[in-house]
Amino acid sequence: MAYRLTYEFNMSWIGPGMGPSGGAPNISAAGGAGGNAQTLTLFSTAGGQNIVGSGTGGAIATADITALGNAMNTDVQAQLKAAGPLALMQGWVSGNP
């Protein structure tokens, strides 16, 4: 049996005074943003992360979960480090959307 992990993730810039201590809504609000936070939403690569269960009869095992988590981590990092998203996030500091 095969298993597929798909996901959505958000990267938000929390500027000075925008965090909970600044009186703005909690940044962990639905969708990953809150207040006036700049937010970039990305998704798992097409097809997600796939693995064949290594347990008895193809059942998913803890090692499979670890492998899926590591694959997700690699994907998230690659997407955030890509030129377009990285430039976008770097621009938030200077007020560029």
Contact 55, 23 (CB under 8 A): no
Contact 41, 48 (CB under 8 A): no
Measured CA to CA, the distance from residue 36 to residue 69 in angstroms comes to: 31
The 10s digit of each residue's pLDDT in 10-48 is 998 887 777 655 444 444 544 555 556 788 999 999 999
The 10s digit of each residue's pLDDT in 50-77 is 999 999 999 999 999 999 999 999 999 9
The residue ranges of every structural domain in the chain are 2-92
pTM for the model stands at 0.79
